[in-house]
Chains A and B, each alone.
Chain A
Amino acid sequence: MRPPASLALAALAACSGRYGAGAQARGAEAVVVRGSDTMLALLQRWAERGGARVQVTGGGSGTGLRALADGTADIAAASRRIEPAERDAVRARGRGDAVEHVVALDAVALYVHPSNPVAALTLDDARALYRGRVDRWGALGGPDVPVVLYGRESSSGTYAFFKERVLRHDDYAAEVQSLPGTSSVLQAVARDRGAVGYAGLGNARGVRAVPLRADASAAAASPDVTSVREGRYPLARPLYLYTAGAPRASAARWIAWVLSPAGQREAAAAGFVAAAEAAP
């Protein structure tokens, strides 16, 4: 016998989410986080597991800081330091000065094929490579194979960070092949004997991370958690969350969770390095 229509209606209403856990969460107002696209995946991870209702939007570090000054965001996520003009704008809002929290560290490593024994590279070597000035690996102490450059699309935060820190705002060579994500860069490098690619830390199987040194006189540091946290690795940057003065209770609770060992474990899982404040 077919179930009565009333049962179907009841089932439909039950699925609507009006009843059950959804209702109690709707009582609290969401914490609005806006900013860095580099941190977007990380922020979403934290938003899901942090216990508070958090709404995350990207748009870039600049957009996030502007939203903090306008009052349209509770927390600004930035992959760079706040600028003095932005600090003034936040102060002008009257809720206090911008408070900085370092929540994770982002490091970019250079990867080569496992058969490439090049010992270490300076930032200038990396710059010469990605400006297309190095034709064969022999010039840098590697085997006599032609250099093949892999990079990311221009929308990537890693692309921007590399351009700013290594290329010093010069253009990439036209020959740099653009790949859509970290894993595609690593896969391409693993398949190509003369390849070099840049990507964040973590999940680096089938490739070899090259130790970097800031200049010829500095010691080379491998891209691992310790050297990043100790500041010895030249291609690392802190990731920040900024609030305007004292944050709201729910926002403060969330930030405390982010900085706790549980939150920092999520950062490590997302491919970043846990910030110095928290033990791993």
Chain B
Amino acid sequence: MSPRRRLLDRAFAAAAWLCAALTVGCVVSVFAFVGREALPALVARPGAPPPRALVAPGLGSAFTWQPVGRRPKFNVVPLAVGSAKVAALALALAAPVGVAAACALAFLVSRRARRWVKPVVELLAGVPSVVLGYLALTVLAAWVQALTGCRYRLNALVAAAGVALAITPWIVTLADEALRAVPRETLEGAYALGASRAQVVLGVALPAARPAILAALLLAFGRAVGETMIVLMASGNAPVLRPLDPTASARTLTATIAAELGEVADGSHHRAVLFLLGAVLFVGTLALNLAAERVVARASRRES
């Protein structure tokens, strides 16, 4: 190579490396910022409730989140349970539909139909979450109340339905890729042995793609936990601790931060706790992403 080309080559490498470092730096800085703002909530300070009040039950074994008032209470348990409940319900609604749709897209739909069905599904991913939230608040809430006769019009189920709408296109896209990555020889072998289409899809393709589909579901769960606007509008935002009741209202970590962070005083315990919620979300999503990656890595190692 000529010296000039070598220089350009090195310059490109340096620039690319710089961009990577910048990206990593951004992530680390965000975490450092959130962590620093959250730290005061974890140390005992005069005038603020002790850190153990964040998770331990208060008077009458109640877990209360009521941060404004003469005696503010900052128990995080109802919020964490609310987040987990809405995300789990959303995944339960979206996963079967999404995976089934992916099976259809990958194996059962003609090539011509696939050319327009796939973009339409991905169109759903482009709908802003505030629109989905409004849809959940008006249309879905009415349907859920008509179907279940539940007491609260805005509840975890309605919010989960809205979030399911948001994560289904993710699941469909990722699962579709996973299914199409199953080697043709495997499928053709199954057909050659006389298997029906259903048997090939359910008995051969799905198990082969299982690690990748699982990783897709984990990522979708992470997305569901991070969803803010839909739950803020459709869940009722009541910090009720009823993990097994889908028709009870719920308050998630994300909606709490969105609703309250704008009005807290600088340096207040309330602000520090909200940043702590953010840090918890950050760490939780990171853990989910790492788990998804490990699942995929283990699967590809097993296959090679």
Tell me the bound Cα distance from A174 to B62 in angstroms: 10
- Across the interface, which residues of A come within 8 angstroms of B69, CB to CB? 163, 169, 171
A191: chain B residues within 8 A (beta carbon)? 153
Separation in Å of the A147 CB from the closest CB of chain B? Answer: 9
Contact of A177 among B152, B241, B260, B262 (CB under 8 A): B152
B16-69 residues with Cβ-Cβ distance < 8 A to A are 62, 64-69
B25 CB to nearest chain A CB (Å): 33
A172 at the interface (CB under 8 A from B): yes
Q: Which stretch of B108-116, B171-179, B231-239, B283-291 is in the interface?
A: B231-239
> Is there an interface contact between A178 and B238, defined as CB atoms closer than 8 Å?
yes
Interfacial chain B residues near A241, Cβ < 8 Å: none
B70, B236, B241, B262: the one contacting A178 at CB < 8 Å is B236
Chain A CB within 8 A of B299 CB: no
Q: A148-B151, A154-B66 are in contact. Are A174 and B236 (CB under 8 A)?
A: no
With the chains together, A146 CA to B151 CA distance in Å? Answer: 7
Q: Is B240 an interface residue (CB 8 A)?
A: yes
Contact with A175, one of B66, B240, B260, B262 (Cβ below 8 angstroms): B240
**Taking the nearest CB of chain A, how far is it from the CB of B130, in angstroms?**
12
A155: contacting residue among B62, B68, B239, B249, CB under 8 A:
B68
Tell me, in angstroms, the Cα distance from A154 to B264 when the chains sit together.
10
* Contact B240–A178 (Cβ < 8 Å): no
Cα distance A188–B154 in the bound complex, in angstroms: 9
Q: Does B11 contact A (CB under 8 A)?
A: no
Interface size class of A (residues with CB under 8 A): 20 to 34
Are A155 and B238 interface neighbours, CB within 8 A? no
Cβ–Cβ contact A159 & B64, under 8 A = no
**Given A169-B69, A171-B64, A171-B73, does the pair A154, B260 have CB atoms closer than 8 Å?**
yes
- Pick the most buried of A169, A171, A188: most chain B CB atoms within 10 A of its CB: A171
Query: In residues 174-193 of chain A, which contact B (Cβ within 8 Å)?
Result: 174-180, 188, 191-192
Q: A146-B151, A154-B67, A188-B153 are in contact. Are A177 and B237 (CB under 8 A)?
A: yes
Q: Max chain A CB contacts within 10 Å: which of B69, B70, B251, B263?
A: B69
Most chain B CB within a 10 A radius of its CB, from A160, A169, A175: A175
A33-59 interface code vs B (CB 8 A; 1 in, 0 out) = 000010000000000000000000000
A144 sits at the interface (CB 8 A): no
Complex contact A155–B66 (CB within 8 A)? no
User: Within the assembled complex, what's the spacing in Å between the Cα atoms of A146 and B68?
Assistant: 27
Residue B78 is within 8 A (CB to CB) of chain A in the complex: yes
Alpha-carbon distance A171/B69, docked complex (angstroms): 8
Residues of A119-164 at the interface with B, using a CB-CB cut-off of 8 Å, are 146, 148, 153-155, 159-160, 163
The distance from the CB of B262 to the nearest CB of chain A, in whole angstroms, is 7
The binding surface of chain A is classed by DSSP as loop
By a CB distance below 8 angstroms, the chain A residues around B259 are: 153-155, 178, 180
Cβ-defined contact, A177 with B249, below 8 A? yes
Q: How far is the CB of B136 from chain A (nearest CB, A)?
A: 14
Chain B residues whose CB sits within 8 angstroms of the CB of A177 once the complex forms: 152, 154, 236-238, 249
Give the residue name and chain of the B residue nearest to A192 (CB): B153
Are A148 and B153 in contact, with the CB atoms below 8 A? yes
CB-defined interface of B229-269 with A at 8 Å, one 1/0 digit per residue? Answer: 00010001111110000000101000000011011000000
Could you say which residues of chain A place their CB within 8 Å of the CB of B260?
Answer: 153-155
Known: A154-B67, A159-B68. A148 touches B237 (CB 8 A): no
Q: Mark B199-238, 1 if CB is under 8 A from A, else 0.
A: 0000000000000000000000000000000001000111
CB <8 Å contact, A176 and B263: no
Rounded to whole angstroms, the CA-CA distance of A159 and B262 in the bound complex is 16
**Chain B residues near A154 (CB-CB < 8 A):** 66-68, 259-260, 263
Using Cβ atoms and an 8 Å threshold, which residues of chain A touch B62? Answer: 174
Q: Give the residue of B66, B71, B152 whose beta carbon is less than 8 angstroms from that of A172.
A: B66
Complex contacts, B240 vs chain A, CB 8 Å: 174-175
Contact with A160, one of B68, B237, B251, B262 (Cβ below 8 angstroms) = B68
A155 vs B268: C-alpha distance when bound (angstroms): 14
Contact sample, A vs B, 24 pairs, CB 8 Å cutoff: A148-B153, A153-B237, A154-B67, A154-B68, A154-B263, A155-B68, A155-B259, A159-B68, A163-B68, A171-B66, A172-B66, A174-B78, A174-B239, A174-B241, A175-B238, A175-B240, A175-B249, A176-B238, A177-B154, A177-B249, A178-B259, A180-B232, A191-B153, A192-B153
